[in-house]
Every structure is written in structure tokens, then in C-alpha cells.
């Protein structure tokens, strides 16, 4: 009698617990879905061919946002050019070559701290180093380099994790068959870690694409009548453009603001979806 | 003839686990030499010295010499890549690389710079036949090696080593995860192997040791207790400790 009561009671408690956890999970989803629906609702009407392929005019109050889209694309690519090879190389060093000593611990602490620096500080650093000291000027180059430094910690730590997840036995076997360390890495380890590395790269670049503060002083332009012609030109960019039309332009039509936000959101979410697809495909294919 | 001569080999790992104490022995060419004894006795450590795989582990101290064909392979100047091609190793758990069956077999050869398809194909067929698995996989060489059963994987791993045409083959409990039928196939392959190679086996049981040994060495806590002709050692051990272990009184 007593035990039956207890077990029923326990069952109820368990159900309550599960319900609570489910509720919390749902609550975390609400802001994301809410934001997307809200922006889609408010900005959807602004999206047209002209909006995506035209230049802004009438003091940005009309026309399109093409230069901002292209600019963000350039900045993202520029960031990838610097941060991807450097980040993966650093991850390979840390995971495959570095011994666990004070030196590598120092590097790790530096990386963790790099990830914790506010993005506006990166902006100022980029202004000091790339724009002024190295005289790149306010340019795509300087902005890309600044974004690269900000993105590096994400790429390094996710890539290192992906490399470490590859079973140690692959390394032992490969070495025992007469491979050098580098042959082992290039032929086996990198291939197996690639999906994880790509996920980290995309997530890092996605963050770079959406940042305003680091490009504020280093490469972003308020308005340019033509598309940038070289890495030394300044550029418009979606997040900065959004900031400008939301705060600096009086009597701005509200649907253009939301339309711009929608394009930025789609840009970033697309990268996110690509990362998710890569990861889940690799997971399904993986055999260890 | 002795292919390998181990002289006063001592070794300690940094973490204080398994070690070797003053081991000296000669290992015969074209024979199966079995290293057996309870876990932690130093058998695997000795194997991993022979192809310098211990370079990957934190070793605190090691002294002594290992002469293979008259050269001390523990010398820092040794070309370890060449050594590992000459001294192949099969591990306890089959580890197929995440490649196709064929790519697994030719992995070492390609690294060694062999590009000719005819040579590679020849090596694939020869080594798979020698490992008694050719008939089972000849029509599916392009499939991933991981898709095979554990017993087949282990014979693929053996073939992968043989493809390099090593002179010495080290086997570290190669049948520990296999069913009796697969074990029988691997043991049968061993009997073939010794015609061409020097085989050193850490067996997964005393029974396997007795079945396969031409020569047998009994290791206990890092020391070589008794070493001799296989038949004699298993039927008529000289040392009390060897006898106790063989009779199953400890271990």
C-alpha cells in the first residue's frame, strides 16, 4: 500500500519535472522565433528586387541596400582569408604539436581572454594598428583584419576541439605505418575533423558579419555612391548601415530599417543553417 | 639466427605505470616468439620499443640497447620512419583508418612514395591473401574498411602491415576482441607468416601462447623471468613462478 503510494507519487514528481524542463526549453525558443516573425512581419514588405539590387537615394530614405550587402560579403570573405588559415594552423599546433606546459597554457589563457574582449575594443585596436600605424586607412583590409582578430578565438577553440575529438588510435596506427606527424594530420586527422572545423569557421564568420563596433572606426562608410574597387577602399556594411538608418537619419521610413534588418538576419541565419547541415551530415556519416 | 638482440633494456614511463627492468634476450628470425605474462608485465612496452612507438609516450628514463640486424635502433640518429616500415605492428583493437579497404592496405606504401598502380594492386592482393581475407573482400575493396566485422578488420590491419613487406611483425594481443573462429584464422595466418617474417606475439591467453609459440618469454612486473623453446617452457618450466602462471595459480 505504502510502496504503491510512493511509486505513484514519484511518478507524479517525475512528470512535473519533465513538464518544467519542457517549459524552460520552449521559453528559450520564444525570443528567437519571436524576433524572426516580428522582423519578417515588419520588414517583409520592403523586400523587392530594387531594394536588393539598388543604391540608396534621397538621403537613404529610398532605394536599395546593394552596397551594404556587397560590403558585408566582402568583409566576411576578407575575414575568412585571414582568420581561417591562421585559426586552423593555431588549432593544429595546439592539438597536435604543443606539449602541455606553461607556454601552451599561456596561449590558451590568451585565447580565452581574446574571446572575452568587448567588440568595440577590437575596433579601437584596429584603428590604432591597422588604420593608423600600418596606414591601411579606413578600408576593407583594415576592417577585415580587425574582424579576423575578433573571430580567431572562436575558430581556434572549435577547431582544436574538433581535432581532439578524432580518436588517438588513428594517430598511433598511422605513425606505426611509417607516417610522419604531418602526413598523419594532413591525410587522416584534418579530414575527420573538417566538419567540426567548418562549423566553427562559419559560426565565427557569422559573428563577424553581424558586428558593427569593430568596423565602425576601421572600414565602414556612412554612404558611398559606388561599390568599393579595392581592399583599400572603405565600404558600406549591413550592420553599420542598419545602425546609421536607425539613429542618424531623421524621418526614415520604418520598413526600410526592418527590411535591412531582415536581410542581415537572413544572411547570418543562412550561414548558421549551412553550419548545422554540415555538422549533422558529418555526424551521420562518421563511423567512430 | 637472432634477428633482434635486446641488451639490458630498462624503461620507466613518466606516469609510473608499466616498466621494464634489465631485459636481455635474443629473438630468432623466421619464428614466432611469444611474450606472455600477467597484465602490466612489460610485454606491450617491449613491443613498442621495437618500433620506437614509445616515442609518442612520455618516457622518464630508458637505458640499454636493441640491436636489429646489428644496429642499435634506440640510437637517437635512427631513421624511425624507415624503422617502422621494417617493423610492423598490429594492435589489440582493430583500428581501420577511415578509408576504403584498398586505401587502408596501400596507406603505408603510398607514404613511402610508391605511386605505380600495378605495384600497389600487387601489394593489395598479396597481403590480403597472406592475411587469409582476400576471398572475403576482393570484390569490395572500395568499401569503407569500418564496414567489415571485427575479425575481418583485424586481418585487414594485419594485411596493412604486411603490404609494407616488413621484416618483423609485432602483434599486441591481436585476437583479444575476436570470436574463436576469427582467432583461428588469425593464428593460421601467423603460421604462414613466420616463413617470411620474424613474428613477435603478445597472446591474449596462455592457451594461445602455448598453441603458437616457437619460443616463449615469461614476463612478470617488468622482468624477464624465463625464456626458451616454446614446447619445453610450457610443458616443463624451470621457474616456479612460470609454472604457477601457466597452471593458472595466479594472474
Paired strand residues for B62: B11
Any CB–CB contact under 8 A between A173 and chain B? yes
Residue of B nearest to A170 (CA): B97
For A8-68, give the DSSP string.
HHHHHHHHHHHHHHHHHHHHHHHHHHHHHHHHHHHHGGG--HHHHHS-EETTTTEE--HHH
Give me the tens of pLDDT residue by residue for chain A, a chain 288 residues long.
Answer: 555 656 667 788 889 999 999 999 999 999 989 999 999 998 888 888 888 888 888 777 778 888 889 999 999 999 999 999 999 999 999 999 988 889 989 998 999 888 889 999 999 999 999 989 998 988 999 999 999 999 999 999 999 999 999 999 999 999 999 999 999 999 999 999 998 999 889 989 998 988 888 988 898 888 888 888 888 887 888 898 889 888 888 888 888 889 999 999 999 999 889 888 888 888 777 766
Would you state the cell numbers that stand for residue B113, as one nine-digit string? 612514395
Residue B3 is classified by DSSP as E
The answer to whether the Cβ–Cβ distance between B160 and A177 falls below 8 Å is: yes
Nearest to B89 among A169, A176, A192 (CB): A176
Is this complex's ipTM strictly greater than 0.85? yes
- Give the burial class of A285: count Cβ atoms within 10 A of its Cβ; 0-12 exposed, 13-18 middle, 19 or more buried: exposed
Distance CA B181, CA B179 (A): 6
Residue A168 at interface with chain B, using a CB cutoff of 8 Å: no
As a whole number of angstroms, the distance between CA B80 and CA B76 comes to: 9
Smallest CA-to-CA distance from B14 within B57, B77, B71, B72 is with: B57
Q: CA B14, B15, B17: angle at the middle one, nearest 5?
A: 110
- Cβ pair B161:A288 closer than 8 A: no
Give me the phi and psi of A166, to 5 degrees please. -70, 125
Cell numbers placing A78 = 576578407
- Closest to A179 (Cβ–Cβ): which among B53, B98, B111? B111
**What domains are there in chain A, each with its CATH number?**
49-285 (1.10.3720.10)
- Which chain A residue's Cα is nearest to B58? A99
Bridge partners of B130?
A: none
Closest partner residue to A177 (CB to CB) among B93, B98, B164 is: B164
Domains of chain B plus CATH, in order, are: 2-93+167-246 (3.40.50.300)
What's the number of CA atoms in the CB half-sphere (13 Å) around residue A200?
24
Residue B6's H or E segment, with its range, is: strand B2-13
Amino acid at each position: 500500500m505504502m510502496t504503491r503510494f510512493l511509486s505513484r507519487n514519484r511518478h507524479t514528481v517525475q512528470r512535473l519535472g519533465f513538464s518544467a524542463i519542457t517549459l524552460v526549453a520552449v521559453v528559450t525558443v520564444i525570443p528567437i522565433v519571436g524576433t524572426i516573425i516580428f522582423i519578417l512581419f515588419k520588414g517583409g514588405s520592403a523586400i523587392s528586387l530594387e531594394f536588393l539590387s539598388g543604391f540608396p537615394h534621397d538621403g537613404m530614405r529610398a532605394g536599395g541596400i546593394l552596397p551594404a550587402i556587397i560590403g558585408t560579403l566582402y568583409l566576411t570573405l576578407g575575414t575568412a582569408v585571414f582568420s581561417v588559415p591562421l585559426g586552423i594552423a593555431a588549432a593544429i599546433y595546439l592539438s597536435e604539436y604543443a606539449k602541455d606546459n606553461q607556454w601552451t597554457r599561456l596561449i590558451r589563457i590568451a585565447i580565452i581572454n581574446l574571446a572575452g574582449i568587448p567588440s568595440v575594443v577590437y575596433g579601437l585596436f584596429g584603428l590604432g594598428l591597422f588604420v593608423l600605424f600600418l596606414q591601411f586607412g579606413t578600408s576593407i583590409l583594415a576592417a577585415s583584419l580587425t574582424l579576423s582578430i575578433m573571430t580567431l578565438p572562436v575558430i581556434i577553440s572549435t577547431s582544436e576541439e574538433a581535432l581532439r575529438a578524432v580518436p588517438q588510435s588513428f594517430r598511433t596506427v598511422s605513425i606505426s605505418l611509417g607516417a610522419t606527424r604531418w602526413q598523419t594530420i594532413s591525410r587522416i586527422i584534418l579530414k575527420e575533423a573538417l566538419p567540426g572545423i567548418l562549423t566553427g569557421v562559419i559560426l565565427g564568420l557569422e559573428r563577424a558579419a553581424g558586428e558593427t563596433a569593430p568596423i565602425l572606426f576601421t572600414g565602414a562608410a556612412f554612404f558611398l555612391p559606388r561599390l568599393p574597387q579595392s581592399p583599400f577602399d572603405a565600404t558600406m556594411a549591413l550592420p553599420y548601415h542598419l545602425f546609421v538608418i536607425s539613429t542618424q537619419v531623421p524621418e526614415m521610413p520604418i520598413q526600410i530599417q526592418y527590411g535591412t534588418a531582415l536581410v542581415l538576419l537572413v544572411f547570418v541565419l543562412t550561414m548558421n543553417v549551412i553550419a548545422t547541415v554540415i555538422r549533422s551530415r558529418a555526424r551521420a556519416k562518421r563511423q567512430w | 639466427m637472432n634477428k633482434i638482440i635486446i641488451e639490458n633494456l630498462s624503461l620507466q614511463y613518466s606516469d609510473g605505470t608499466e616498466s621494464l627492468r634489465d631485459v636481455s634476450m635474443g629473438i630468432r628470425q623466421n619464428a614466432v616468439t611469444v611474450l606472455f605474462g600477467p597484465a602490466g608485465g612489460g610485454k606491450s612496452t617491449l613491443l613498442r620499443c621495437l618500433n620506437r612507438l614509445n616515442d609518442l609516450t612520455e618516457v622518464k628514463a630508458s637505458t640499454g640497447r636493441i640491436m636489429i640486424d646489428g644496429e642499435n635502433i634506440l640510437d637517437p640518429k635512427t631513421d624511425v620512419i624507415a624503422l617502422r616500415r621494417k617493423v610492423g605492428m598490429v594492435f589489440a583493437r582493430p583500428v581501420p583508418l577511415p578509408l576504403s579497404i584498398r586505401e587502408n592496405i596501400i596507406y603505408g606504401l603510398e607514404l613511402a612514395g610508391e605511386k605505380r598502380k600495378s605495384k600497389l594492386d600487387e601489394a593489395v592482393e598479396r597481403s590480403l591473401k597472406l592475411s587469409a581475407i582476400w576471398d572475403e573482400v576482393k570484390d569490395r575493396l572500395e568499401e569503407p574498411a569500418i564496414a567489415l566485422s571485427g575479425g575481418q578488420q583485424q586481418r585487414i590491419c594485419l594485411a596493412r602491415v604486411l603490404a609494407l613487406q616488413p621484416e618483423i611483425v609485432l602483434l599486441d594481443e591481436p585476437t583479444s576482441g575476436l570470436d574463436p573462429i576469427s582467432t583461428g584464422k588469425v593464428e593460421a595466418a601467423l603460421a604462414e607468416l613466420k616463413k617470411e617474417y620474424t613474428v613477435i606475439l603478445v597472446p591474449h591467453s596462455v592457451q594461445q601462447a602455448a598453441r603458437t609459440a616457437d619460443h616463449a618469454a615469461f614476463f612478470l612486473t617488468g622482468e624477464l623471468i624465463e625464456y626458451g623453446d616454446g614446447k619445453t617452457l610450457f610443458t616443463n618450466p624451470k621457474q616456479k613462478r612460470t609454472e604457477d602462471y601457466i597452471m593458472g595459480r595466479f594472474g
